[in-house]
Amino acid sequence: SGIVAVVGRPNVGKSTLFNRFTESRKAIVNDVAGVTRDRNYGKVEWNGREFSIIDTGGYVDGSDDIFEDEIRRQVHLAIEESDVILFVVNVEDGITELDNGVAELLRKSNKEFVLVVNKVDNNKRSLDATEFYSLGLGEYYCISSINGSGTGDLLDEVVNKLPEEIPVEDEDLPKLAFVGRPNVGKSSTVNILLDENRNIVTDMAGTTRDSISTRFSKFGHDFIMVDTAGLRKKRNVNEDVEFYSTLRSVRTIENSDVCILIIDATRGVEAQDVSIFNLIQRNRKGLVVMVNKWDLIENKDTNTINEFKERIHRRFAPFVDIPIIFTSAVTKQRIIKVLEEAMIVYERRTTRIATSKINDVMLPVIEAYPPPAYKGKYIKIKYGMQLPTHAPTFAFYCNLPQYIKDPYKRYIENKFRENFELTGVPIQIFFRKK
Ligand code: GDP
């Protein structure tokens, strides 16, 4: 894994490049049904390596003069938080002042970066591109995001610059991550859990330079809490920048098995909560939702809880089979319950379901409501099994998989959830040719 940030002026072609990269993955692995494609975040697979890509362009809005400051700020954050920066320039425009500014920031940093000259659609333009040597960034890659030329070499170079993966020690312990918008109570929660463990906690280097994980114990179980460094010490960057918290969340989510998504009860479910939820789902990590600051909600009764749960379900649909716990980090109410639930989700996510069990349950379900015929062709599903992947993935073998549509896939997923314990666990179901 690793995080690649795409930076550059507006309209140089960042999002076209982003789409090209993320679609190359989409062709290999179907996206999880029902998850909206995020225009800022995607996963890319190339030569057996996988990385996350973040298009900073999606985070900028405002007038032209806001742009300049905002872009500089994003480059700063990208230098701090990502592993590789793709600096995109446009051969049609040549070098602009802002390009020079970004180049200077990159030269001063010791961050890995790749200079990408976009819109090189023909030979004449590849001659024009030589001008970009004067940015002082060395070699550059010429591409055309529109027709795809050069993107293979570029991907080779990006993968080449990704950091080596250092496996976390005690790889088999549950790795938990607390994620959420700024100020929802992540640090408070982490500090409660770690302070109670003062004598047991041990810090260990994570998979990347700046992500420290901490090992601790609770009710007889050992856990690893991911990315505690960012939460225990005061941060020196403005965390309110959504781009920054997304980078931070991506890093944390990727390193975990189960994510605890904290929502602020006084604010309800906001857009940023939904985008972090989508990150968790797309990385297919276990999930527990923790509605924090419940102490601040007045006049609560059982209805208050149900109403809040319904709001969460509406925003997170169709994936609503999730544990939701109402907590207070101030009174320490139900924080331990969250941990217990996370442990249960971890167990569910790692338990494999036997092929015979899957077929005993699912074949009658399929027989009762088979996939609708397509243009008079009958679709016959023969059997299913769990694949040997990390996150639960199931394959059903059939004659005409390409004709099985999303509503039917959802029906199968719902039946899976009714019959097997999968609350809090995103699953993937493929239909394959026998
Ligand atoms: P983070 O940015 O997500 O790490 O959030 P913090 O843990 O720093 O908390 C932000 C603010 O919310 C602090 O002032 C906390 O004291 C407060 N806070 C956190 N959890 C709770 C809670 O359960 N109830 C109340 N009333 N305040 C909380």
Residue 294 CA: which ligand 1 atom is closest? 23
**Ligand 1 pocket residue status of 115, Cβ below 6 Å:** no
Query: Would the ipTM clear 0.85, i.e. be above it?
Result: yes
Q: What pLDDT score does 70 carry?
A: 76
Distances (CA, A) of 134 to 62, 86, 130, 139, 178: 30, 18, 8, 11, 44
Residue 376 buriedness (CB in 10 A; 0-12 / 13-18 / 19+): exposed
Q: Is the CB of 184 under 6 A from ligand 1?
A: yes
Contact 419, 382 (CB under 8 A): no
Residue 228 beta carbon below 6 angstroms from any ligand 1 atom: no
Q: What is the pLDDT along the chain (434 residues), one digit of tens a residue?
A: 789 999 998 888 888 888 888 875 443 344 444 445 566 788 888 888 889 898 887 665 555 566 677 778 888 888 888 899 999 999 999 999 989 999 999 999 989 999 999 999 888 888 899 999 999 999 999 999 878 899 999 999 999 999 887 666 666 899 999 999 888 999 899 989 988 777 666 666 554 445 678 888 888 889 999 877 666 655 555 555 677 778 888 888 988 999 999 999 999 999 989 989 999 998 899 999 999 999 999 989 889 999 999 999 999 998 999 999 999 999 999 999 999 999 999 999 999 999 999 999 999 999 999 999 988 899 999 999 999 988 899 999 999 999 998 899 999 999 999 999 999 999 999 999 97
> Which atom of ligand 1 lies nearest, measured to the CA of 191?
7
Q: Please give the model's pTM, rounded to 2 decimal places.
A: 0.82
Q: What is the DSSP string of 139-163?
A: -EEE--TTT-TTHHHHHHHHHHHSP
The reply to whether ligand 1 has any atom less than 6 angstroms from the CB of 381 is no
| Angle of helix 302-316 versus helix 271-282 axis, rounded to 10 | 60
Query: Whose C-alpha lies nearest to ligand 1, atom 24?
Result: 293
* Closest C-alpha to 180, from 121, 253, 234: 253
Amino acid identity of 290? Answer: M
The pLDDT assigned to 55 comes to 86
Put residue 186 in one of left, alpha, beta given phi > 0 → left and psi -120 to 50 → alpha: alpha
114 contacts 161 by C-beta, under 8 angstroms: yes
Instruction: Tell me how crowded residue 175 is: count the other CB atoms within 10 A of its CB.
Output: 24
Separation of CA 140 and ligand 1 centre (Å)? 45
- Identify the pLDDT of residue 45: 85
Report how far ligand 1's centroid is from the alpha carbon of 298 (Å).
17
- Assess whether the C-beta atom of 230 lies below 6 angstroms from ligand 1: no
* Cα 56–chain centre separation: 15
Q: Is 190 in the pocket of ligand 1 (CB under 6 A)?
A: no
Q: 3-7 and 428-433 as β-strands: parallel, antiparallel, unpaired?
A: unpaired
Does the beta carbon of 188 sit less than 6 angstroms from any atom of ligand 1?
yes
The CA 185 to ligand 1 mean position distance, Å, reads: 4
Q: In whole angstroms, how far apart are CA 358 and each of 355, 419, 426?
A: 5, 9, 17
- The b/e string for 76-98 (b: 16+ C-beta within 10 A; e otherwise) is ebbbebbbbbbbbbbbeeeeeeb
Please check whether residue 394 is in contact with residue 410, taking contact to mean a CB–CB distance below 8 angstroms: no
CA of 268 to the centre of ligand 1 (A): 15
Q: What's the distance, CA 426 to chain centroid?
A: 13
The number of C-alpha atoms within 13 Å of 243 and in the hemisphere containing its C-beta is 28
Number of the ligand 1 atom closest to the C-alpha atom of 262: 3
Ligand 1: does its nearest atom lie under 6 Å from the Cβ of 392? no
Angle CA 320–325–326, to nearest 5 = 125
Beta pairing class for 258-264 and 84-90? unpaired
Say which residue the tokens 């309209």 belong to.
11
**DSSP letter, residue 403:** G
* Rounded distance from Cα 338 to ligand 1 centre (Å): 16
Ligand 1, atom 22: nearest CA belongs to which residue? 293
Q: Please choose from 178, 188, 225, 245 the residue to mutate so as to test ligand 1's pocket, defined by most ligand atoms within 8 A of CB.
A: 188
Longest Cα–Cα distance of the chain, Å, equals 71
- Please tell me if the CB atom of residue 245 comes closer than 6 angstroms to any atom of ligand 1: no
What's phi and psi for 21, nearest 5 deg?
A: -65, -45
The residue whose C-alpha atom lies closest to atom 15 belonging to ligand 1 is 185
Q: Is the CB of 182 under 6 A from ligand 1?
A: yes
State whether the beta carbon of 328 lies less than 6 angstroms from ligand 1.
yes
